[in-house]
Structures are given as structure tokens and as C-alpha cells.
Amino acid sequence: MATLALNSMTQPCGRVCGIDNRYRTYLRSSPIICVLDIIMMLSRFPHLIIKRRIPAKKSARLTIMERFDDDSPVEGIQVLGSTVWIRWLLFMMGPLPQAIRLASFQGVFWSKVLGFGFLVPWLIMELMILISVKMARISSTIASAPAVVESRPQPIWMTYLAGLSIGIFTLELNLMVYFGLTQDRDSVITHVGIGLVYILLFLMSTVLFKQGIAEGVGGLCSAFPWLGRNLLVVYPVDGTEDLEVDPAAAYYLGCFWVNFWLLFVGYSCIYDSAGTANPGWTGVFG
């Protein structure tokens, strides 16, 4: 699971749910966000054809242009297309064997749902990159048309998807506890763990989102600038050398840590090995 998650987080995939690509790493730590992101991108294509009367080829290219910054030396679609072989080589060396093992397991339905929630969007995104590289560029006039711009996904309300994904995950864990699908329904650790998830969700949706975590991270990064840069929450101000904590990046970092913590809660309190089976031939994958 961790291998598939890291594979998804490190994929250069442009804007996630319409949000700036600088936040994609932490956003894609949630399989729910990964799935919603792909649904939004794929639904954009027929929307441009049916609603905006744009031809299919131009709609496909426009969808990609909105997703990626074609003029960027790092995120441009041509740049990403030239590095496909590297990503696929790394994929075959790590995530692919783990995906095969996960698919072969029996009795781990929810683990498969979460794991392939990372894998399938990754594969679709790689396919979109390969297709878009072969497409001819379209006029920027179409991309900047008022009707097209107004119909784009707005990142403002999409910000709450990160918290929403944690809420959905939390609800799933609580339902499993309620219906006795855990190793020990009366386990104190289980109920304490689920309770802590609710507390963290509340804090993230109120205090943390209102720059509480940003101020805390800001003080820490002032003392250790290298830490803020490595955590992807500190960025230069308007192209200058001055660094500033990005509140949104700090919020998504908090979402990532909650997702990371839920992984341990899920496997220590929710996962039950009874009824699961691992075929012997999967041993070749480690």
C-alpha cells in the first residue's frame, strides 16, 4: 500500500482537482482525492464537447492544457512526455510487483479498493500524458475564451476535498467498528484511535485551516529554513529570495500526516487477517 501511495504522490500530474500543482504531492496521499481528480479531468472532456461545442480533438488538448502548464520547463506536457520511460521503469521495479501481490490476495477487499485507488488514476494519467504528447498544440485563443475559463473547475471549494476525504475514511473506519468488522470490537485502542481521528478532523477543519498550523510551521521554518523547503510548505515570495510559509501547503501537509496516521490505525486496529490468503507464487515479488 505504501509503495502504491508513494508512486502516486511522486507522479508529476499537474493540477489536482484544479488546485495549483505545487500542492499535488500531499493531495495525492489520499486515494479518494486521486479518484475524484481523475473523474473531474475525464468529465471535463465531454463537457467541452457538449456544453461548449468544441471539437473532440481540441477538447482533449484543451483538457490537457488546463491540467498542465505547457510553458513550464518542469511541468510542461512535452517535458513530462520525454520522461515517461523513467517513470515506467521505476514503476515496474517497485509498485507493479506490489500491485500484483495485492491483486492476488484473497479476503482483503478494502485494501484492494484503497490500493487500486492509487494505481488506476496513476495509469490513466500516464495514458493521458502519452496521448497528449502526440496532439498538435491548439491556439491559446480557445484556451483563454471567457466561456471556457468560467467553466473550469474552481480550486477554492476544491480545497475542502482534502478534509472531506479524511472524513469519508473516518466514517468508513467507524462503520467497521460499529458492525464488528474489527479484530476486537471492544478494543480500547480501537475506540481511542477512532476518537482521535474525529478530534484531528475537527482541528484541521477549524484551527488548522485558519492558518493555525501555518503559524506553527512558520516559526519552526524560521529556525530551520531547510526543513520548510524539504516539507514543501515554504516558497519564495514573488520571485525574490525571501521565503514565506504557504498556508494552503501547510494545511495539505496536515492532511498528509492524518492520512499517514490512519494507515497505522487501520492496520493495527481494523485489519483482520482471518479469512485472508496469500498465494505462494507471489513470493517471487518479495
- Per residue in 19-62, pLDDT tens? 888 888 888 888 888 888 888 888 888 888 888 788 887 787 77
Q: How far apart are CA 70 and CA 126, in angstroms?
A: 16
Q: Quote the CA–CA distance of 139 and 242 in Å, as a whole number.
A: 36
Domain boundary among 94, 121, 153: 153
Task: Kindly state whether residues 183 and 100 are assigned to the same domain.
Answer: no
Q: Are 37 and 74 contained in the same domain? A: yes
What is the DSSP secondary structure assignment for residue 152, as one 8-state letter? S
141, pLDDT greater than 50: no
Q: Which of 153, 170, 196 is the last residue of a domain?
A: 153
Residue 234, beta-bridge partner list: 245
Greater pLDDT, 82 or 25: 25
Residues 175 and 67: their CA atoms lie apart, in Å, by: 36
Q: So what's the pLDDT on residue 118? A: 92
Strand partners, 106: 277
Give the N- to C-terminal CA distance of the chain in Å, as an integer: 14
pLDDT score, position 101: 86
Same domain? For 32 and 143 the reply is yes
Q: What is the mean pLDDT of the chain?
A: 71
**pLDDT > 80? residue 70:** no
Name the residue range of residue 198's domain: 159-274
Residues 168 and 143 in one domain: no
Cα torsion through 8, 10, 14, 18, rounded to 10: 60
* Domain presence at residue 284: no
Smallest CA-to-CA distance from 24 within 9, 39, 42 is with 9
Distances (CA, A) of 178 to 171, 174, 186, 272: 10, 6, 10, 15
DSSP 277: B
User: Into how many domains does the chain fold?
Assistant: 2
| Mean local confidence (pLDDT), 161-184 | 57
222 pLDDT band (50/70/90 cuts)? low
Residues in the chain: 286
Q: Is residue 100 part of a domain?
A: yes
The pLDDT-based confidence of 234 (bands split at 50, 70, 90) is confident
- Are 172 and 54 in the same domain? no
Say if residue 230 is exposed, middle or buried (CB neighbours under 10 Å; 0-12, 13-18, 19+).
exposed
Residues 139 and 104 in one domain: yes
207 within a domain of the structure (yes/no): yes
Query: Average pLDDT in the 231-246 region?
Result: 74
Q: Based on the domain organization, do 164 and 149 belong to the same domain?
A: no
Residue 282 pLDDT exceeds 80? no
Residue 107 in any domain: the answer is yes
Residues 48 and 128 in one domain: yes
Residue 285 within a domain: no
Average pLDDT of 137-164? 53
- Entry pTM: 0.73
Does one domain contain both 166 and 133? no
Give the closest residue to 285 by CA, choosing from 6, 8, 93.
Answer: 93
83 and 212 fall within a common domain: no
Which one of 100, 133, 153 terminates a domain? 153
Show Cβ contacts of residue 262 under 8 Å, excluding neighbours closer than 6 positions. Answer: 166, 169, 170, 173, 197
